[in-house]
Amino acid sequence: MMTTGTRIDLSLADLERGDPRARSGGRERRFRCPLDACDGATYRGPDQPLALNVATGVWKCHRCESSGLLTDYRTDRTANPRDAALARTGRALARATRPRQMVQEPEPKPGTWPWAAQWDDSVPLTAREAMPAAEYVMGRGIRWGPAHDAGARFHPRYGTGQSLDTPDGRRWRDPGPAIVFPLTAPGSGTGTWALTGVSGRYLDGREAQGWRKVQTGGGGGGVFATLGAAHADALVLVEGPMDALAWAQEGVPAIAVGTALPGWLATHVLGRQVILAQDADTAGDAAADRHAPVLTGWGAHVTRTRPPDGCKDWAEAAHRAVLARWPRWNAPAT
Helix axis angle, 241-248 to 314-325, nearest 10°: 50
Which pLDDT value is given to residue 331?
A: 46
- pLDDT for the residue 42: 67
What is the pLDDT at residue 16?
A: 86
The full set of domain ranges for the chain reads 2-97, 116-330
From edge to edge, which strands make up the β-sheet containing 273-276? 224-225, 254-256, 234-238, 273-276, 301-304
Residue-by-residue pLDDT tens, the chain, 334 positions: 555 445 788 888 888 888 888 877 778 888 888 888 887 676 666 678 888 888 888 889 888 888 888 888 877 554 555 555 655 665 565 565 555 544 444 554 445 688 999 999 999 999 999 999 999 999 888 988 999 999 999 999 999 988 888 777 888 889 999 999 999 998 766 568 899 999 999 999 988 888 899 999 987 789 999 999 988 889 999 999 999 999 999 999 999 999 899 999 998 899 999 999 999 999 999 999 999 999 999 999 999 999 998 899 999 988 888 666 655 444 444 4
CATH class of the domain comprising 116-330: alpha beta
pLDDT at res. 108: 46
pLDDT at residue number 231: 86
For position 103, what pLDDT does the model report? Answer: 45
Q: What is the pLDDT of residue 76?
A: 57
Residues β-bridged to residue 166: 169
How much is the pLDDT for 201?
Answer: 96
pLDDT of residue 325: 63
- Give the side-chain half-sphere CA count within 13 A for 237: 27
pLDDT at 119: 95
pLDDT of residue 190: 59
d(CA 188, CA 264): 9
